[in-house]
Chain A
Amino acid sequence: MKIAILSSFTVKNILPQLKEVVSSLGFSATFYEGNYNQYVQEILDKQSSYWKFSADITFIFIDPESIFGDDIYNSVFLDENTTGKLVYSKICMFKSLMNSISDSNIVISNLYRFAETPLYYFGRASPQGPVALIDKFNFELRSLLASKSHAFLLDIHHLSSVFGIRNITDSRLKYLGSINFTNDFCKVVSAECGRIIRAMYGISKKCLIVDLDNTLWGGVVGEDGPEGISIGTVFPGNVFLDVQKYLKSLKQRGILLAVCSKNNMDDVEKAFTTSGMVLSLSDFVSIRANWDPKTDNIASIASELNIKTDSIVFLDDSPHERALVKEFMPEVEVVDFPENIEELPATLYSLHFFETKAITEEDKKKTVLYHHERERDKDKKQFNSVEDFLKNLNIQICIEPISDKNIKRAFQLVNKTNQFNLRTIRYTEDELTKIVNSPKYCSFTLFVRDKFGDYGQTGIAIFKDEGNNYFLENYLLSCRILSKKIEFAFLSRCIELLPKHIPLRGEFIQTPKNVPSINFLTEFGLEKNAEGIMIINDPLTCGKEIPFIGGYDR
């Protein structure tokens, strides 16, 4: 990974910590440091060392003095219209910088406020004052960055407020070396950069498994009874109320919630009827209330949800249970439960496992999708053969070209799908946009529904035109639609939609996780030719027709 750091001040002291953060995410990175306050020239001059470096991620750090210069002191004497124009002209400059960097993800910091405001109270209160100028700029920058898929906000304003504005700078570093941030603040900024990279590359956990007693509510329901547990407006119930609100918001944005608790199911059901509960049983996709070892329960939840245990986060107040999970399932992220319960909400807010740039429609209905799956499982038991069950499901598929309408979810699928994924080629959202717009590629996405409900957008097929043949560069299906023969129907119909009828080349690249797709190309009809290339000359004839899978339009 190539990371360029451009800035209006010396920010070299962030490098050691940023390197550490990036390597903890599993990337090995090389860095480019821009020249002091030359970022505009370096970006606009396509011959510059910055462009020769060809960054994957470009960070731009800016400070209020370099953006507004003497206007920081003079703006109170200008009229509102003029200060508005001033901010607008700066934002336009960043817009054009952003547009000229289309090959790299771009992260721009917003402006921190001053600890000592010029003009004292008046400088803070005046609608044209320095604080207003900074706030207006930050407001506009946020909207600008949100409008582009390859652009990200580094919210220095927020980080400096939390850290204390007075502590972000050391006057000696500032006046002797133009170093605006102390090493301690650089550490905080690096951690945030790590979160941004997680959102950029879709590195997110899928499921949070929680304990109940003294984790979602105060007290032990099996001993204190449902009336005896604390949840509500009085301490400690108000702490757990916030914990539940936070979990609900995670669920709403697509993180699966599951319960793993040493309890009787009967007591658990009663507890969730207690007044004041924010969460209900239906917010959880899976519940294990029993006395089995938690590691067994976590493994069984993972297999039920068809996810890997390395995409699970575990929250439990018992140090013993946490130690067991850490010891025997090191791939599970175990939350460090705070010693004092009032710190639990803050602990949860500061987790970095669930970063995302956007929330898709699929994310919002994920829990419902898993409940539909449960109904399917019940239904399956009534049929003698898998084929009879599948026929009865009334599966319908809809194939659309990847476009603005569906690219956010397509990006998620490309980066999160592990099991049915022929080549596990990941793209950034920007790379994917380029492929979608390139005449060399045909890219499709899949929507599926059946009698129990909508599975949503669940597959990607990307064909590269290699002249004499197409190459299946990316082919993947979400695990929730596997074992239904949909992979055959999807590829057959994509082939029918391709503009040219030429041979199809395929490739399988094995990873530790994609065993479920190992035989797919052969089963579909591709064969190894004399050179060892998997290919089929007339793909139109080979696709397996799956008569019970119908089509629909969205």
Chain B
Amino acid sequence: MGKKFHLLVVMIDKKTVKKEFLLLVQSIMNIKVDDKMMNLKINKISEWDSFNNLMLIGEVEKKFSIKYSANEIESLETVNSVVDSIFNKVKVK
């Protein structure tokens, strides 16, 4: 039974994570993040202030059913690192 259940879990790929995540960024900060911006530090993006970052993480948690600690939120640096962190959390679920 347990094995069967595991087989039913839909695997989510990184591309999808990125796409869904960028939609959330757009709805909260009203900015479109393109591929050139993926390695930017989030504190260099003016709309991405600490308040919006917290609101974003809240939405990310809801969307992907994952949870961040305060330290994890503090250590997010680039846009890419956020996508990676989501993917890593979804993977181990």
Q: Could you tell me which A residues sit within 8 Å of B by CB distance?
A: 10, 12-13, 170-173, 175-177, 179, 183
Contact partner of B73 (CB less than 8 A), chosen from A12, A172, A179, is A172
Residue-wise, chain B 39-80 has the 8 Å CB interface mask toward A (1 for contact) of: 000000000001100110110000000001110011000000
Tell me which residues across on chain A come within 8 A of B68, comparing CB atoms.
172
The 7 residue pairs across chains A and B that have the minimum distance between CB atoms: A172-B70, A177-B54, A176-B70, A173-B54, A177-B51, A177-B50, A175-B70
Nearest CB in chain A: distance from B58 CB, A:
6
Contact partner of B51 (CB less than 8 A), chosen from A12, A171, A172, is A12
Interchain CB contact under 8 A, A183 and B70: no
Nearest CB in chain B: distance from A194 CB, A:
22
Interchain CB contact under 8 A, A10 and B70: no
Tell me which residues across on chain B come within 8 A of A172, comparing CB atoms.
54, 57, 68-70, 73
Tell me which residues across on chain B come within 8 A of A171, comparing CB atoms.
70
Sample of 7 further A-B pairs with CB below 8 A, known A172-B70, A175-B70, A177-B50: A13-B51, A13-B55, A171-B70, A172-B68, A176-B54, A177-B51, A179-B51
Interface SS of chain B: helix, strand, loop or mixed? helix
Tell me which residues across on chain A come within 8 A of B57, comparing CB atoms.
172
A175 to B71 Cα, complex, angstroms: 11
Nearest CB in chain A: distance from B56 CB, A:
12
Interface SS of chain A: helix, strand, loop or mixed? helix
Tell me which residues across on chain A come within 8 A of B54, comparing CB atoms.
172-173, 176-177, 179
Interchain CB contact under 8 A, B58 and A176: no
Nearest CB in chain A: distance from B66 CB, A:
13
A sample of 14 inter-chain contacts (CB < 8 A) reads A10-B51, A170-B58, A171-B70, A172-B54, A172-B57, A172-B68, A172-B69, A173-B54, A173-B58, A175-B70, A176-B74, A177-B50, A177-B51, A177-B54
Tell me which residues across on chain A come within 8 A of B55, comparing CB atoms.
13, 183
A177 to B55 Cα, complex, angstroms: 10
In the complex formed, the residue of A with least CB distance to B74 is A176
Nearest CB in chain B: distance from A435 CB, A:
41
Tell me which residues across on chain B come within 8 A of A175, comparing CB atoms.
70
Tell me which residues across on chain A come within 8 A of B74, comparing CB atoms.
176
In the complex formed, the residue of A with least CB distance to B62 is A183
Nearest CB in chain A: distance from B26 CB, A:
15
Nearest CB in chain B: distance from A306 CB, A:
49
Tell me which residues across on chain A come within 8 A of B58, comparing CB atoms.
170, 173, 183
Nearest CB in chain A: distance from B78 CB, A:
18
In the complex formed, the residue of B with least CB distance to A182 is B58
A173 to B73 Cα, complex, angstroms: 10
Interchain CB contact under 8 A, A176 and B50: yes
Tell me which residues across on chain A come within 8 A of B51, comparing CB atoms.
10, 12-13, 177, 179
Interface centre among A12, A170, A171, A172 (most CB of B within 10 A): A172
Tell me which residues across on chain A come within 8 A of B50, comparing CB atoms.
176-177
A179 to B53 Cα, complex, angstroms: 12
Nearest CB in chain A: distance from B14 CB, A:
25
A91 to B93 Cα, complex, angstroms: 51
